[in-house]
A and B are shown apart, each in its own frame.
Chain A
Amino acid sequence: MARINQKVGGAELIKRFLNDLSQGSDLIVSAYSGTLDSIPEGQEKIFGRLKSQRILMNTRQGFRLNPNMTSLIGYLMSQNRSRHIEIDLISRLKTLDRIVISYLDHRRNNEELLAEEILNDIEQMTFDIVFTAREAVYSLANRIQTQFGFVRSIKDKISENEEAIRIATGLVNNFTSFTFSHMMELIRQDTPNSPLYSILCTGLLSELATCQSDLNVILIQLREMLATFRSEVHKTNILKAFYEQYNKNTDYRPKDYTEYELPHELFMKASPLHCSLSGHAGLTEDNQNYQDTLGEIAAGLKTPENIPGDEQLLDNSGGLNEAPVIKSEPFAMDDITEELTVFFRECINTGRELSARCYHEEHRLEYLLSHWLFAVAAFYEDMPPENRRYFKCSFNGHGQYHQFVKEQPFNVGNTILEDVLIQTTGI
Chain B
Amino acid sequence: MSIRETTELLLEGRFICAVTCPEAFDDLNNPAVSEQITALLAPLNRKIAKTKGGNAYYAAWANLENNSDREAITREFEAVRNQLRPVVTFILELMDCDLRDHPLNVGDIVSEAEIITILENNTFLNERNVALLRQLTSRHMSDPIRIQVKFIFDHMKKFGIIAETTEGSRRFRITGKLEYIYEVLEFINSREQILEKNTDRQNLSVQGDVFNG
Query: Which positions in A face B, CB cutoff 8 Å?
Result: 152-155, 229, 232-233, 235-246, 248, 253-259, 262-276, 284, 286, 289-290, 292-293, 296
Contacts and interface: CB of A to CB of B under 8 A. Distances in A.
18 contacts: A235-B103, A236-B103, A238-B189, A238-B194, A239-B88, A239-B91, A246-B88, A248-B201, A255-B188, A255-B192, A257-B191, A262-B64, A264-B187, A268-B64, A269-B49, A270-B58, A270-B76, A276-B8
A245 B189 CA distance: 11
A235 to B, nearest CB: 5
Most interface-central of A152, A242, A257 (chain B CB within 10 A): A242
Given A232-B102, A262-B64, A275-B11, A239 B185 contact: yes
B86 to A, nearest CB: 10
B71 to A, nearest CB: 9
A256 B74 contact: yes
Given A238-B195, A240-B198, A271 B12 contact: no
B46 A253 contact: no
Contact of A239 (B12, B81, B92, B184): B92
B88 A243 contact: yes
Given A232-B102, A258-B73, A270-B58, 14 more contacts: A235-B103, A236-B95, A238-B189, A238-B195, A243-B88, A243-B92, A246-B85, A256-B81, A259-B74, A266-B180, A268-B49, A269-B49, A270-B61, A273-B12
B100 A235 contact: no
A295 to B, nearest CB: 12
Interface in B118-158: 137, 154, 158
Interface in B63-101: 64, 69-70, 72-78, 81, 84-85, 88-89, 91-92, 95, 99-101
A155 to B, nearest CB: 6
Chain B interface SS verdict (over half): helix
A407 B100 CA distance: 76
A272 B12 contact: yes
Given A232-B102, A242-B185, A272-B13, A237 B73 contact: no
B60 interface: yes
B195 A275 contact: no
B158 A272 contact: no
A257 B195 contact: no
B85 to A, nearest CB: 5
B114 interface: no
B161 interface: no
Contact of B76 (A237, A245, A255, A269): A269
A300 to B, nearest CB: 11
Contact of A256 (B77, B183, B201): B77
Nearest to B13: A272
Given A235-B182, A265-B60, A290-B158, A254 B192 contact: yes
B16 interface: no
Contacts of B187: 257, 264, 266
A261 to B, nearest CB: 8
B59 interface: yes
Given A153-B101, A273-B44, A268 B61 contact: yes
A349 B15 CA distance: 62
A265 B198 contact: no
